[in-house]
Amino acid sequence: MPAYLPLVAQFGSVLGRLSSTEERLLASVVLALAAIALAALAVPFLLRQCRRLVAQRYLGGAIDDFVGQVNDRFPVTTPVVLLLRSLQVGICLVTGGTLLVIWNQQWLVTQAYTLVQFSVGDVLAWVFTGLLVVGAYVGMGLLEDAVAAFSREADRMTAHQEQIVTRVGQIGLLVVVAFVLLGFWGVDLGGLLVGAGFLGIVVGLAARQTLGSLIAGFVLMFSRPFEIGDWVEVGDEAGVVTDITIINTRLENFDGEFVVIPNDRVADRAITNRSQKGRLRLRVDVGIEYEADPATAAEVATEAIETVDQVEETPRPHVFPRDFGDSAVVLEMRFWIEHPTPPKRWRAQARVVERVKTAFDREGITIPYPQRELSGRAETGGFRVDDGRSETVRPDGAECDDSTD
């Protein structure tokens, strides 16, 4: 028998002396009013005073800031409010039991205890479990705030990446809390871990490509070789990044088609980001006749390029002779555009070609077409072309038709 049951019996005998109904009603009303005053006024006042005393004497600096953050985010589930609600529930239970004793219903109190049979250890275990669950809930909220603050201050993640990191962290926290609670309540984790290991092997073999894309997605998330809106080239695919998920990356190519690339393939291929620096250098070749002066042609081309609106003034366009072609001296024209996109690149190249062609025509610089020089052996009559037919005159005066159909 619990030690406090005799006390309950003695208390019941004292209250049992209230023989008349009027006395019991008066005692019930007084008890109810006292319980209401205690639960609604006295206990909240005492808790506020204790909290203020603890804050003034023990809390300060980082600890005070942390408590403030918890109270701001979870005003209903703060430890003080939980303690207040627990005390109020306890007062209600004690008041209800006392009312039963006043009305000679002690057997209900004893029967309720017999059904519940709570020990002090059980109560502490349930309290620890509740505190751990509440702590996990508070920790999930604080983790979400921490990730949001990191993303906002460092500008390191997109909204989608922020959500992924938050959810993964919260799931990890819940898994840890679940294992702690299972171990605390004596659940054998050995068999559970063995089963989880076999399940992990099966899932890993069945979905190794998906898991590879998942891991590569986290690598891309933190290495950030590109962002949404960047113009990139991944292997043989090129386009503008429209979405980055934890499994794949989506591009919109220049034909308006959407290309979905698994993240493991993105991580295994060379990535060219043409938008990361905010500018892009373009190259356009033009040929001039061998009789023209390359320096003069380069100067004319440079001045023509500088008149194009899409071309950046700094760095200046650069034109220089690059190669001896079959029919021309090849000049390479280099110039920069800002905030590059495929349409802007095409427009800039088209404007440069138009302006350079106009400038060369104005200055009398010829852009030659492919040419071939034909030579024949020194023979009587020689080699001639007549109406698209090539003929060779032999020394004996006979003509030989060399043309082919």
Could you tell me the CATH number of the domain that includes residue 349? 3.30.70.100
Number of folded domains that form the chain? 3
> Same structural domain for residues 86 and 156?
yes
Average pLDDT, 10 consecutive residues per value, the chain (405 residues): 54 63 78 83 78 61 52 54 75 78 70 61 74 81 81 66 78 85 75 72 69 76 80 88 85 87 86 85 92 92 92 90 90 91 89 94 88 63 55 52 49
Whole-model pTM above 0.75? no
Q: Is 310 helix (H, G, I), strand (E, B) or coil?
A: coil
> Same structural domain for residues 119 and 252?
no
Q: What whole-number distance in Å separates Cα of residue 181 and Cα of residue 129?
A: 7
From 133, 150, 165, the end of a domain falls on: 165
Q: What is the dihedral of CA 258, 263, 269, 270, to 10 degrees?
A: 70
Q: Which residues contact 189 (CB under 8 A, 6 or more apart)?
A: 179, 182, 183
Q: What whole-number distance in Å separates Cα of residue 85 and Cα of residue 32?
A: 18
Strands 271-273 and 318-324: unpaired
Which residues, in sequence order, are bridge partners of residue 238?
233
CA–chain centroid gap for 116, Å, is 49
From 240, 273, 306, the end of a domain falls on: 273
> Beta-carbon neighbour count of residue 328 at 10 Å?
21
Task: State residue 331's pLDDT score.
Answer: 94
> Same structural domain for residues 140 and 242?
no
Q: What whole-number distance in Å separates Cα of residue 117 and Cα of residue 369?
A: 103
> Same structural domain for residues 147 and 26?
yes
> Same structural domain for residues 115 and 14?
yes
Task: State residue 294's pLDDT score.
Answer: 92
> Same structural domain for residues 347 and 242?
no
In a domain, 116, yes or no: yes
> Same structural domain for residues 321 and 242?
no
Q: What whole-number distance in Å separates Cα of residue 143 and Cα of residue 138?
A: 9
Look up the domain containing 299 and give its range: 279-363
> Same structural domain for residues 156 and 287?
no
Task: State residue 285's pLDDT score.
Answer: 93
> Same structural domain for residues 111 and 17?
yes
DSSP, res 17: T
Task: State residue 317's pLDDT score.
Answer: 93
Task: State residue 77's pLDDT score.
Answer: 46
